[in-house]
Amino acid sequence: MNLAEIRLQKDLAEIDMPNAEIEFDSDQNLKNFRVKIRIVDEKSLWFGGTFVFEFCVSERFPFEPPRVRLLTKVLHPCIDYDGRINLGILVSGWNPIFTIFTCIFQLNAIFIWPIPEDCMNQFAGNLMRNNYSAFIQAVHNSLLGQTVDRQEFKKLL
């Protein structure tokens, strides 16, 4: 077992977040897994939705961050329609003291406090900055499975 696997096992064993669930494809491969996060904060525009993230951890973990992609299409300023995420700790602010729980916590947080200046989705970021009430309605419509910004969304509510 290498350093990345030892650290990953420790990180995974310490995760205690009732609204997050971890799924593995295989007991043999802990480095690729999915995390389902249910948004339970009622202040969030995405409240009630469940979002699935794919984590890929390299042999260089914890010295480099896991690669994380959202598998659930969402209308969000920090996440593009292909699931790429603009989250500081995953892009440029990684530190080896951060854990998988840190990542999950931060992913949950961007659904409570989205940052329109950190855009991956220009449509969502511009709408959030320039017409917040229209942004709220667009997010709600997307969660109901309606088409927004010429994108079809799966019903999440």
Flag whether pLDDT at 113 surpasses 70: yes
Q: Is residue 54 part of a domain?
A: yes
pLDDT bracket for residue 152 (50, 70, 90): very high
Q: Is residue 87 part of a domain?
A: yes
Q: Is residue 157 part of a domain?
A: no
Q: Is residue 122 part of a domain?
A: yes
Say how far apart CA 40 and CA 18 lie, in whole Å.
10
Among 26-35, 110-119, 127-136, name the most confident range.
Answer: 127-136
- The domain of 34 spans 3-143
Flag whether pLDDT at 27 surpasses 70: no
Q: Is residue 153 part of a domain?
A: no
Beta bridge partners of 56: 32, 67
Say how far apart CA 74 and CA 82 lie, in whole Å.
9
Q: What is the domain-level CATH number for residue 46?
A: 3.10.110.10
| Domain count along the chain | 1
